[in-house]
Each structure stands twice: as C-alpha cells, then as structure tokens.
Chain A
Amino acid sequence: MNAKGTAKLQVKDVAVRFPLGRGIVTALAGLSFSIAQGEFCAVVGPSGCGKSTLLRLIAGLAQPAEGSVDIHSDGSEKPLQSMVFQGNSVFPWMTVLQNAAYGLEMRGVSQPDREDVAERLLIQVGLGEFLNAYPSQLSEGMRQRVAIIRAFAVDPEVLLMDEPFGALDEQTRIILQDELLKIWEATGKTVVFVTHSIDEAMIVADRILVLSARPGTIKADIRVPFPRPRSVETVRSNTEFNQLFLHIWSLLRDDAASAVGAAR
C-alpha cells in the first residue's frame, strides 16, 4: 500500500458537540485516526453520524470541543486543504476557466499563471472546448467536473470531498468516478472522501473508515485490497468486491436501520 510513512493528517481524540433545542448533541466522540501522505481515505457511516462535521473540522471551518486536528505541511505555500461539495460548488457568474482558476488566487498566483494551470487540467478531462462557457451551459456532471478540477488545481496538502457525486445520476457518477481515479493516480494527493455509498468508497479509496451512528466513532478501519491503477470496471469485477461490500454493510446495517427508524 501507500507506505510513504509520515502522517499527513492526524485527528486525535476529537469530540464535537452542538446545542440542539435545550440539550446538547454530541456529533463526534473520541475520534482518532491518521492518514498517510498520498492516501485515499473514504469515510462511510449512517446518515447523521457526523461525516460532514468531520470534514468541516479538517477544513478548519469548525473547531472541536476536545482534541485536535493537524495537517502536516512541509512548509511550502500550498494551502492546507481544498474542498468539493455535493452540488452548486461552481459559481454561475464565472466561466469554466475562471471557476477552475480562482482557487489559486488565494495562494497569490498571478492571473496568467493560474489560468495556465487550470486550462491544462480542464483539457485533460475533456473540457477544453468549454473554457469560456458559463456553468449554466453545462450539464450537472460537467459542472461537478469543473469543481473537482478547481480543487486539484490549488494543489492542497489534503483534498476534502463531501459526497461530490451524490447529486449525479448513476451513469454520470460512474464516469466521474473513473475520471477521479485517473486524476488521483496521476497526482497522488492525500484525499478524505465522505460518501454514503459503500460501492463508491470501495471503488475510489485505499482505506475506508466506517463510522458508527451518533455520536460518531470509528467502528472499523478497512484496507481496500484492489490493485491500482483502477477503473470502475476492474474494481467491480474483482472477486472480492461483493464480499467486502457485505462485510462493510454488516457493520453499517443496524445503525443505518435505526437512522431511518426501521425495525431491526
């Protein structure tokens, strides 16, 4: 596996609480894990277990009540993290090129340089003809591709993805999963990928953290054995695919059922 050694991201004894009505809800409790440099880690869990909260903590958008989150930086000017959301994460008033490039502005890259970087990446994913199009002229899948390119363009220490394909139809999702595999295998970024889809986690990640129902703690830390380079087809046709799926589902089943109020 990716054994480049040093921990890129270290989450230590994290607890998150927030007020709800008169009481206090504990979203995450005693959460600890670390992710190595260049590791692709997926986080799955039942709805409401605090997956997105975890991502917001890593993104520095929220502070834990206890514990710490550290991203190891080698002192370069790279931003610590960059995020992709489920939908609407491209701006309608910017062209495809501007959308992909503006993230670099925060790093002080000059306009011609940031457009060069963005253009190169956009051409790689087949959006070369759409550089000057507005998002309203694109399909949902193309828009989400632009959002992913924007996140990669800033070359962050850690890339955070919060159900980036959650709003897409299945066929578009498969195509984008394949594309993400290609871009990731070319760049080797450290990624934390939150998803509700067990399939998707197994396809894209090297490692899957299974969270329990609230308060979220780590229920299992699973290595995904499928060899790289991958594609959706090679992973799905792997003989171990169904077995691993069932294993992860058995871990999630009870929590997922109670999250939707189903009888056990």
Chain B
Amino acid sequence: MIETTGAKTTVERAETGRDRPGGLSILSWILPFLLLAGLLAAWEVGVRVTDTPSWFLPTPSEIARETVDSRSALWGHTRTTLLEVLVGFSIATLLGVLSALGIASSRTAERTIYPAIVASQAIPIIALAPILLIWFGYGLTPKVIVVVLICFFPIAVNMADGLRAVDPDAIALLRSMGANRWQVMRIVRIPTSLPYLLSGLRIAAAVSVIGAIVGEWVGASSGLGYLMTRSAAQFQTALLFSAVGISALLGITLFTIVALSERWLLPWRKDEKTARQP
C-alpha cells in the first residue's frame, strides 16, 4: 500500500515536471537536442576526415544544402505523400471506428468481422502493392489503399478492446436506471473506449507514412517514396537522405498532432495530474 502510493507520487511529480515550463522541463528539452546535435557533428566530422565520397555518404551540411536547393521539387513530392497519408488515415479511422462499433454490438458481428480484420493485417502489404498497381494504376488510389490497410488494424483493434473494457458495474448501474443499448453505448462504452482509440490512432499515425512510401515504391510518378527510388538510382544520395528525413518528419508531426488532440478529445484527463484533496 505504502509502496504503491510512493510510486504514484513519483510518477505524478515527473509528469507535472514535464508539463510545467522551467525547472526539469528545460533540461528534458535540451538533452535530446544536444544528443542529436552531437550525432550530426560526429557525422559531419567523420565523413570529412575519412574523405568519404558524397555519393556514398553525404555530410549533414550537404544534405541541408540539397534540401534548400531542391525545395520546390521536394515540396511537390511531400504534398503528394501528405495527401495520400491524410486521405488514407481518415478513411482508416472511419472504417476502424465503424468496425469496432460493429464488433462491440454483438457476438455474431464480432465473429464475422474480427477474422477479416486480422486477415487484413496478415497480408504482406509489400506483396499486395503490385496487385493494387495493376488494378488502379499509378495514381493516388493504390497508395491510399495501402495506407488504409496499414492504419486500419491498430485503430479497429484498440477501439474494439476499449469498447469491451467497460466496468460491468457501470453497465449494471445504467441498466438498473433503465438505459437502453444505445444509451449504454453513448454514456459509458464510447467514452471508455476513447483512450484506447487514441493509442490506436497514435500507432496508425506513426506507420501511415510508411504505408504511403511503400505504395509509391512499387509504382508512382510523384511522392517522397518515388523520389527516394529515383534519387537512389541516380546516385543523388543527398536528395535521397533529404526525402528520408522529410518522411520521418511527416510521421513525427502526424503522431504529435494525434497526441495533442488527446487534450481536446479527453478533457477530463487534462486535470488528472492536478492536486487531489485527501
């Protein structure tokens, strides 16, 4: 009992430290930044000292210069990829939430839908992409489908778990007050599932860019994945690194946006770390 309380206090203190400006938080921002800067510096120096050719491994400064020089081309490719990601992620969210609600609504629906969801994840996406290319050509559609397939699983499974994670007492309470199925769903099950849905969305956001890049690799005329294959074939290594860096940045940005939306979607969690009266 005493141990639990102690651990909880430590956690709460650590988390308030991160939220509050000043004190611990400045250090927690500076340290990863310093690490990154150190790694880049070591890279720059290492490449220059060993006289490594630029087509094999360009220095960070060369990559930065290439990024600035090719900014308009990079921007065009980034837009293509971003569009695929956003459309795919939105469709996956919609389908994921609907499937989860379906799964939670009845045992029969669960037994029908669940295997299909697992199957959608078991298919190697990289093997599916060429088939999509044959069916839908070089345009937006096959990439969006790959993004949907890769994002759908974590969203649907997490939300379905959340809808089932309801405290049975809470349902008993509502039933005793005469709530119907829809009211039980709206008052307890959906709110209970939202934190689970958000973990699913965070995972989906992190992998969504990977889906779009894979789709573009197989066949495309624009997009960061297309740019990567093209610049690799032409030994434009700095441009290749640039494209890799931007796609990573896209994934991180999407992840952060989803993580921040938690404050808006789950307002009751915002205050959870504030002081509790005994």
Contacts and interface: CB of A to CB of B under 8 A. Distances in A.
Best-buried of A56, A134, A138 by chain B (most CB within 10 Å): A134
A103 B187 CA distance: 10
Contact of B271 (A106, A137, A160): A137
Contact of A93 (B183, B266, B274, B277): B266
Nearest to B192: A93
A61 B172 contact: yes
B177 A89 contact: no
A91 B170 CA distance: 8
Q: Which 4 A-B pairs have the closest CB atoms?
A: A93-B191, A134-B268, A59-B176, A139-B277
A61 B268 contact: no
Given A88-B167, A88-B169, A137-B276, A79 B191 contact: no
A133 B170 CA distance: 20
Interface residues of A, number: 30
Interface residues of B, number: 26
Given A91-B187, A93-B191, A136 B172 contact: no
Contacts of A93: 191, 194, 266, 268
B9 to A, nearest CB: 16
A106 B177 contact: yes
A41 interface: no
A209 interface: no
B119 to A, nearest CB: 34
Nearest to B276: A139
Interface string B183-211: 10001100100100000000000000000
B178 interface: yes
B272 interface: yes
Contacts of B272: 134, 136
A134 B169 contact: no
Contacts, number: 69
Interface in B237-277: 266-269, 271-272, 274, 276-277
Interface in A58-111: 59-61, 79, 81-83, 85, 88-89, 91-94, 102-103, 105-107
Contact of B176 (A82, A139, A142): A82
A83 B274 contact: no
Given A56-B172, A94-B268, 11 more contacts: A61-B176, A82-B176, A83-B176, A88-B170, A91-B187, A93-B194, A103-B177, A106-B183, A135-B268, A136-B271, A137-B271
25 contacts: A61-B172, A61-B175, A61-B176, A79-B177, A82-B177, A83-B176, A85-B173, A88-B169, A88-B170, A89-B173, A91-B191, A92-B268, A92-B269, A93-B191, A94-B268, A105-B183, A106-B177, A106-B183, A133-B271, A134-B271, A134-B272, A136-B271, A137-B274, A137-B276, A138-B276
Nearest to A83: B176
Interface in A4-23: none
Interface of B: 167, 169-170, 172-179, 183, 187-188, 191, 194, 266-269, 271-272, 274, 276-278
| Most chain B beta carbons < 10 A, residue from A61, A138, A160 | A61
| Interface secondary structure of B, over-half rule | helix
A136 B268 contact: yes
Nearest to B169: A85
Contact of B188 (A91, A105, A154): A91
B176 A60 contact: yes
B249 to A, nearest CB: 33
A106 B173 contact: no
B161 to A, nearest CB: 17
Contacts of B278: 139
Contacts of A61: 172, 175-176
A160 B266 CA distance: 31
A134 B273 CA distance: 12
A82 B175 CA distance: 10
Nearest to A135: B268
Contacts of A105: 183
A100 to B, nearest CB: 13
A105 B178 CA distance: 10
Interface string A105-144: 1110000000000000000000000000111111100100
Contact of A59 (B172, B179, B191, B276): B172
B29 to A, nearest CB: 27
Nearest to A137: B271
B187 A83 contact: no
B118 to A, nearest CB: 30
A137 B274 CA distance: 7
Nearest to B172: A61
Contacts of B266: 93
A248 B172 CA distance: 31
A92 B274 CA distance: 14
Contacts of B173: 83, 85, 89
